[in-house]
Amino acid sequence: MMQVENETGVLDTPRDYCPAANRAFNGPVPKELMKYLQAHKEQLIPQLHQAWQATGFKAAGAWEEVFGKSTVNKNDWEAYSYFTEEIFMAWNYARYVGYVAAAGKKEYDIPMYMNTWIKQPISGAPGQYPSGGPQPTVLDIWHAGAPAIDIFSPDCHLTNFTDWYRWYTQAGNPLFIPESAGDAVGAAHALWILGRHDGIGFSPFGIDGNSGTNTPLSRVYQLVSTMAPLILAHQGDGSMTAIVLDKATNSESVRLGNYNIEARSMTRNSGPVTNPPVALFICTGPDDYVIVARSHGGIRGNDLSCLDSCYEHEPS
């Protein structure tokens, strides 16, 4: 694959305010974008759908007429301050990067992806993180402006990684992680994305600092490589899931096949887990499961296992 650009976006300001950008922002939303939004109206990512709905799904107009005037909420990092400005920047970056990617594909037809500096809890408005990059709330804009980009990916070092990885599976986006932790937490990420979201790859940041054949990540990689044919055979058909216990709740329950799978940690977590228990489940028959699991206590002996398992209780 080819990473076309690195963490695209503008910092320290919600958008470009040069004269040409101001004229474009106060001018009409491009017809190509409006055509895409109208064709995908019922499938748009919720935040974009909500912003457009608030203006009555206007079919034409200036950016603030179509997507609304910006509001600012500095106290809530999940609020979408300056969202119209972010949409505007996303479209213009997407058109440029998409042009570069399309030109590259003409010469060398391989998958192209974009990595993203995602919004942090300490970030408020766009500009405190790179505004206009392929954040999950503007993936539709990037799909419209840069169809040559095959994958949009998060650079994720946050504790709520399960949320971010889920957000990057919206709009049919394949899940590939180009940058994250390479320690025991990263090992849990790698196994979890494979089972929970049919992830296609996990690439830790600074792998040279986590090298070796007996690290948590290398042990997971070794195990997954032996299971690759089985994982690929079940990828995308709903017969695979995963659980990670990385929060203070210490438990999680998921449904797979005829059974509810419940995982519980015997250790009370008071904060972020540095070596989270993780398990991948593959349903190979009505009562048959292949399970790959890592316990809370690190990589020792049989902490990682792969076995055929049949639950002894009735389906619940």
d(CA 138, CA 160): 20
Taking residues 140-162, what's their average pLDDT?
94
Of the three residues 139, 156, 179, the one that is the final residue of a domain is 179
Is residue 130 domain-shared with residue 228, that is, in the same domain?
no
Q: Distance (Å, rounded) from C-alpha 257 to C-alpha 283?
A: 7
Q: Which two tokens stand for residue 171?
A: 């709009």
pLDDT at residue 298 greater than cutoff 60: no
Residues 6+ apart with CB under 8 A from 3: 113, 114, 115, 178
Query: Do both 120 and 5 map to the same domain?
Result: yes
Instruction: Give the chain's largest Cα–Cα span.
Output: 70
Regarding whether 218 and 160 lie in a shared domain, the answer is: no
Quick check: helix, strand or coil at residue 90? helix
Same structural domain for residues 172 and 247? no
Pick from 295, 287, 292, 296: nearest CA to 306? 292
Convert the pLDDT of each residue in 250-285 to its tens digit: 788 999 999 999 888 776 655 566 788 899 999 999
Dump pLDDT digits (tens) for 202-254.
998 877 776 677 888 888 999 899 999 999 999 999 999 999 887 666 788 99
Residue 282 has φ and ψ, to the nearest 5°, of -125, 120
Nearest to 9 by CA among 108, 60, 82: 82
275 part of a folded domain: yes
Q: Do 220 and 170 have their domain in common? A: no
CA 6 – CA 8 distance, rounded (Å): 6
131, 157, 179 — which closes off a domain? 179
**For residue 120, what are its two tokens?**
């942090």
Confidence of residue 76 (pLDDT cuts 50, 70, 90): low
Residue 184 lies in a domain: no
Last residue of a domain, one of 135, 163, 179: 179
Residues facing 285 on adjacent strands: 288
> Do residue 172 and residue 245 come from a single domain?
no
* 241 is a domain residue: yes
Give me the domain span that covers residue 290. 210-316
pTM recorded for the entire structure: 0.88
Residue 10 sits in a domain whose CATH number is 3.20.20.80
Is the residue at 204 inside a domain?
Answer: no
Q: What confidence score (pLDDT) does residue 299 get?
A: 35
- Predicted pLDDT at 308: 31
Q: Are residues 53 and 137 in the same domain?
A: yes
Tell me if 16 is assigned to some domain. yes
Q: Is residue 37 part of a domain?
A: yes
Q: What is the per-residue pLDDT for 212?
A: 72
Does any domain span residue 200? no
Query: Which pLDDT band holds residue 306 (cuts at 50, 70, 90)?
Result: very low
Q: Is residue 191 part of a domain?
A: no
Q: Is a pLDDT exceeding 90 seen at residue 301?
A: no
The arithmetic mean of pLDDT across residues 29-46, rounded, is 97
d(CA 292, CA 307): 7
Give residue 279's pLDDT: 92
Give the number of domains in the chain. Answer: 2
Domain check: are 154 and 38 in the same one?
A: yes
